């Protein structure tokens, strides 16, 4: 039996498959030396638990009334090299943005010193902002991608690292590798990563997107992922211009989803970013393969790509997480992703409402016209009422940022909430931090306080960050 390393008492807020936000007040949690949750019970059980687990009751760390623990947040899609220009170059749509800003920047990561500087900064910044798991795109450069893996491991972040693959595109040949090179380098990358045997940093097969990959490369990468049972990530149906281009390049495929699916790239370890324009049929394919979508609302708006209808994805029972997609998105904070996900859902609500009004008006005009012409108006198909559309709740967005992300990455059996035996990836939130961006004026319900943190909080409220029981923020002096 594992021995304890931490015992905390206070409020715990997390999600379960049946409850988007469960608040456990006056609870006590024990974390073993291996990083797992040994118990989580009502604090009244403290004396009994102390005897059972052999801890001293005076060693229990008690949270203040303005503090709570929540699960660490999971960024299911982020481009580490793009952190160097985050918040700039936001005035072009996706394909132009890639060509003018992204590819030229990523090219500089052949230089390991450039990589080391930016990668250290992005790992530290995301950890400080509560991202305990990140699914990263690096660049085509294998050695620089290994640098990112080493840094994530050093700082204790749980991470998936993708050496990017791209071998084909007439518009930007100078940024590409050959197909052979891409396959060989991916094999080398996977090989080095496997030898490193990092506990919580793993390789992920990363074809950039269908536009920049030959059919042969997609096919070989699908086989490689299958051979090593690896995770897979890419982009799908992000913008209409992108989809048109995919269908032009791959005329024998029926849909964007089919391009990946027929090349074995949709598995239960796949996370595809965006998916704004996926049809119901494509979502059904995702569901049947157990593949997930990473919803990146900041990027979808910043690159004016589109909106993902989260409710429709959930209705199709497709696994869903949130992503920052930095630097297509201008923030690496998952709190921002939560807010933008809710706001996107409200925008969709308003669009549906507008559509509904237009339909109603059309019907009224039609009725008036037919009556004027002495014709009895026929039945009109029932129109969807815009108000039926459920806006994403803050509780559900919280679940997507934590447990949902773990489900998307197929690690929800390892972490994602405070279930006993899972690894303790957690944030200690202090809503009364000295320099907090918001105040709590009175004794409000914890549910309301959590909501205020989700909307107004930032890294100043994230007092400590734990990954598998290890306190990784604040950083130690030598890190």
| Positions that interact with ligand GUN (CB under 6 A) | 79, 94, 98, 102, 208-209, 235, 238, 299, 325, 328
Residue 242 engages Fe ion in binding (rule: CB under 5 A): no
How near is the Cβ of 76 to ligand GUN at its closest, in Å? 13
Residue 209 vs 277, nearer CB to ligand GUN:
209
Helix (H, G, I), strand (E, B) or coil at 14: strand
How near is the Cβ of 137 to Fe ion at its closest, in Å? 6
Residue 293 vs 426, nearer CB to ligand GUN:
293
Contact range with Fe ion by CB under 5 A, out of 25-33, 301-309, 322-330, 358-366 = 322-330
How near is the Cβ of 168 to ligand GUN at its closest, in Å? 13
Helix (H, G, I), strand (E, B) or coil at 278: coil
Cβ-closest residue to Fe ion?
325
Residue 156 vs 297, nearer CB to ligand GUN:
297
Q: Does the CA dihedral 31-33-36-39 come out positive or negative? A: negative
**3-class secondary structure for 415-459?**
CCCCCCCCECCEEEEECCCCCCCCCCCCCCCHHHHHHHHHHHCCH
Residue 102 binds: one of Fe ion, ligand GUN, none (C-beta under 5 to 8 A by kind): ligand GUN
How near is the Cβ of 89 to ligand GUN at its closest, in Å? 12
How near is the Cβ of 26 to ligand GUN at its closest, in Å? 44
Bridge partners, residue 73, by sequence = 131
Residue 238 engages Fe ion in binding (rule: CB under 5 A): no
Residue 79 vs 163, nearer CB to ligand GUN:
79
Residue 271 · residue 231 · CB < 8 Å: yes
Q: Is 308 left (phi over 0), alpha (psi -120 to 50) or beta?
A: beta
CA trace torsion 159, 167, 266, 347 (10° rounding): 80
**φ and ψ at 93, to 5 degrees?**
-75, 165
Residue 92 vs 287, nearer CB to ligand GUN:
92
How near is the Cβ of 273 to Fe ion at its closest, in Å? 5
Distances (CA, A) of 165 to 23, 176, 216, 233: 43, 8, 12, 11
Distances (CA, A) of 148 to 161, 202, 266, 327, 467: 7, 11, 25, 17, 18
Cβ contacts of 232 within 8 Å, gap of 6 or more: 204, 205, 206, 207, 221, 222, 225, 265, 266, 267, 269, 270, 271
Bridge partners, residue 295, by sequence = 322
How near is the Cβ of 175 to ligand GUN at its closest, in Å? 11
Residue 152 vs 246, nearer CB to ligand GUN:
246
Residue 10 · residue 446 · CB < 8 Å: no
How near is the Cβ of 297 to ligand GUN at its closest, in Å? 12
Contact range with Fe ion by CB under 5 A, out of 12-20, 319-327, 349-357, 392-400 = 319-327
Residue 333 CB-half CA count within 13 A: 19
Residue 323 · residue 332 · CB < 8 Å: no
Structure tokens given for 3: 């021995």
Residue 238 binds: one of ligand GUN, Fe ion, none (C-beta under 5 to 8 A by kind): ligand GUN
Residue 289 binds: one of Fe ion, ligand GUN, none (C-beta under 5 to 8 A by kind): none
Residue 208 vs 289, nearer CB to Fe ion:
208
How near is the Cβ of 77 to ligand GUN at its closest, in Å? 8
How near is the Cβ of 154 to ligand GUN at its closest, in Å? 25
Residue 325 engages Fe ion in binding (rule: CB under 5 A): yes
Helix (H, G, I), strand (E, B) or coil at 268: coil
C-beta contacts of 55-64 below 8 A and 24+ residues apart: 55/4, 55/7, 55/30, 59/7, 60/7, 60/8, 60/9, 60/28, 61/6, 61/7, 61/8, 61/9, 62/8, 62/9, 62/10, 63/8, 63/9, 63/10, 63/11, 63/428, 64/10, 64/430, 64/432
Contact range with Fe ion by CB under 5 A, out of 124-132, 258-266, 310-318, 324-332 = 324-332
Rg (the chain; Cα; Å): 24
Cβ-closest residue to ligand GUN?
328
How near is the Cβ of 85 to ligand GUN at its closest, in Å? 11
Residue 38 vs 94, nearer CB to ligand GUN:
94
Residue 79 vs 231, nearer CB to ligand GUN:
79
Residue 72 vs 275, nearer CB to Fe ion:
275
How near is the Cβ of 421 to Fe ion at its closest, in Å? 33
Residue 299 vs 407, nearer CB to ligand GUN:
299
Residue 83 vs 209, nearer CB to ligand GUN:
209
CA angle 68, 134, 206 (to 5 degrees): 160
- Closest among 157, 272, 265, 163 to 218, alpha carbons compared: 265
Residues 273-302 that bind Fe ion (CB under 5 A): 273
**What is the binding site for Fe ion (CB under 5 A)?**
273, 325
């Amino acid at each position: 039996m594992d021995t304890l390393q931490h015992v905390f008492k206070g409020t715990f807020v997390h999600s379960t498959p049946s409850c988007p936000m469960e608040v456990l007040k006056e609870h006590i949690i024990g974390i073993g030396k291996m990083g797992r949750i040994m118990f989580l019970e009502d604090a009244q059980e403290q004396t009994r638990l102390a005897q059972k687990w052999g801890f001293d009751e005076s060693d229990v760390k008690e949270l203040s009334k303005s503090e709570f623990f929540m699960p660490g947040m999971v960024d299911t899609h982020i481009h580490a090299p793009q952190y160097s220009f985050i918040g700039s170059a936001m005035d072009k749509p996706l394909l132009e943005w890639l060509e003018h800003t992204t590819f030229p920047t990523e090219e500089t990561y052949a230089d390991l010193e450039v990589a080391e500087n930016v990668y250290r900064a992005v790992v530290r910044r995301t950890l400080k902002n509560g991202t305990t798991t990140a699914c990263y795109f690096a660049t085509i450069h294998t050695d620089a991608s290994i640098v990112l893996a080493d840094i994530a491991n050093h700082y204790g972040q749980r991470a998936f690292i993708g050496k990017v693959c791209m071998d084909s595109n007439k518009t930007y040949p100078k940024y590409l590798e050959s197909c052979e090179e891409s396959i060989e380098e991916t094999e080398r990358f996977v090989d080095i990563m496997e030898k490193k045997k990092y506990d919580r940093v793993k390789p992920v097969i990363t074809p950039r997107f269908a536009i920049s990959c030959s059919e042969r490369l997609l096919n070989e990468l699908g086989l490689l992922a299958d051979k090593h049972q690896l995770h897979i990530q890419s982009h799908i149906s992000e913008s209409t211009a992108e989809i048109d281009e995919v269908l032009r390049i791959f005329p024998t495929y029926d849909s964007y989803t089919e391009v990946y699916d027929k090349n074995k790239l949709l598995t239960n370890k796949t996370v595809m970013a965006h998916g704004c324009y996926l049809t119901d049929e494509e979502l059904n394919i995702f569901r049947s393969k157990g593949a997930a979508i990473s919803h990146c609302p900041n990027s979808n708006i910043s690159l004016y790509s589109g909106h993902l209808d989260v409710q429709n994805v959930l209705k199709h029972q497709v696994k869903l997480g949130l992503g920052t997609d930095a630097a297509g998105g201008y923030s690496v904070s998952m709190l921002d992703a939560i807010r933008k996900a809710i706001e996107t859902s409200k925008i969709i609500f308003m669009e549906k409402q507008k559509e509904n009004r237009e339909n109603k008006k059309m019907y009224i005009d039609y009725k008036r016209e037919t009556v004027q012409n002495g014709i009895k108006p026929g039945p009109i198909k029932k129109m969807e009422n815009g108000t039926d559309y459920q806006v994403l709740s803050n509780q559900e967005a919280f679940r997507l940022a934590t447990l949902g992300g773990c489900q998307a990455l197929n690690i929800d059996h390892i972490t994602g909430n405070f279930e006993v035996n899972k690894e303790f990836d957690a944030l200690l939130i202090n809503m009364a931090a000295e320099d907090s961006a918001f105040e709590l004026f009175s004794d409000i319900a914890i549910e309301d306080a959590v909501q205020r943190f989700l909307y107004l909080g930032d890294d100043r409220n994230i007092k400590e960050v734990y990954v598998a029981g290890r306190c990784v923020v604040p950083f130690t002096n030598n890190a």
